Amino acid sequence: MREKQWCTAELPVAVAQFTVARGPERNLEIIDGFAGEAVAQGARLLVLPEGLIARNGDDDAFAAAHAQPLDGPFVSGLKAISAKRNITLMGTVHVAPAEGSADARVSNVFLAIRDGEIMAAYRKLHLYDAFAAKESAVVKPGETLPSIIDIDGWRVGVMTCYDVRFPETARSLAVRGADAIVVAAAWVRGPLKEYHWKLMTTARAVENTCYVLACSEISSRNIGCSRIISPLGEVLSESGDNAAELIAANLDRNALESARQILPVLSNRRFVDPQLR
């Protein structure tokens, strides 16, 4: 069991769904606008979608083609926004391979940025090779479990889009002490896809008694439907499927501890995988 530490009773959070533009500079302007709005509402964390640098409709290769290094201008812009607005930013960017790399594919990297610094960088484990898509053609998978970041004493784990279909990923975060799980996504529209998104984001919250903050890009291709869910599956805030929007909620420590007392699934586990202790 992890040691007790200082923690705020509530953590104000915000989730910004929007259409990622073709130009990186425009996307930084959009993010800065949402960050200003989130801070005005008291938020300490702003969750952003997947693939923030550039998008172009149904062209899956477009985001990869506009990948930048972690020390490139786009991530530098995110650092500047986090420092100026005094807020933690979370979302994913496509990162170019190192010069001379034998693998020309990019990485889909989930970043947590605070005070102008990268606090964590998680490379997406599960690539979207499903529903006729082939993300692995342009993106290489990560090899390590997702990170957990401390925000005002709250332990926040991260996942990227297709990761949410793999319950062991979320469980690994919960058993390592996550109080909340952030999902950055570009969830593709299609038959039953909105239903899957809502079902699985709620399931990941309830089965792990964690808050879930799920953000999807909104476009003609992707569903939006961003949401903030309590540890017992209550939807605290939710956006629609046709517009850019900022949603917000307070994560409540008492509600989290109460949920884990009445539904002690984490302590009742049996036949535990050693990797998920």
In a domain, 169, yes or no: yes
- 141 in a structural domain: yes
What is the number of domains present in the chain?
1
Flag whether 86 is in a domain.
yes
Catalytic residue among 50, 140, 210, 215: 50
E strand or H helix that includes residue 215: strand 211-216
Tokens 């800065």, residue? 32
Q: What pTM was estimated for this model as a whole?
A: 0.95
pLDDT band at 7 (very low <50, low <70, confident <90, very high): confident
Residue 194: active-site member = no
- For 182-210, write each residue's pLDDT tens digit: 999 999 999 999 999 999 999 999 999 99
DSSP percent split of the chain into helix, strand, coil, nearest 5: 30, 30, 40
* 225 found inside a domain: yes
pLDDT category at 257 given cuts 50, 70, 90 is very high
Known catalytic residue at 50: yes
For the ranges 22-36, 57-71, 246-260, which has the lowest average pLDDT? 57-71
Tokens of 95: 């990162």
Confidence of residue 57 (pLDDT cuts 50, 70, 90): confident
Give per-residue pLDDT as tens, 114-162.
Answer: 999 999 999 999 999 999 999 999 999 999 999 999 999 999 999 999 9
| Residue 161 annotated as catalytic | yes
Q: Is residue 274 part of a domain?
A: no
Catalytic-role residue among 161, 210, 215, 225: 161
The answer to whether residue 119 sits within a structural domain is yes
Whether 129 maps to a domain, the answer reads yes
**CATH number reported for the structural domain that contains residue 202 in this entry:** 3.60.110.10
Query: Percent of the chain at pLDDT above 90?
Result: 90
Residue of 79, 124, 210, 215 with catalytic role: 124
Domain coverage including residue 262: 12-266
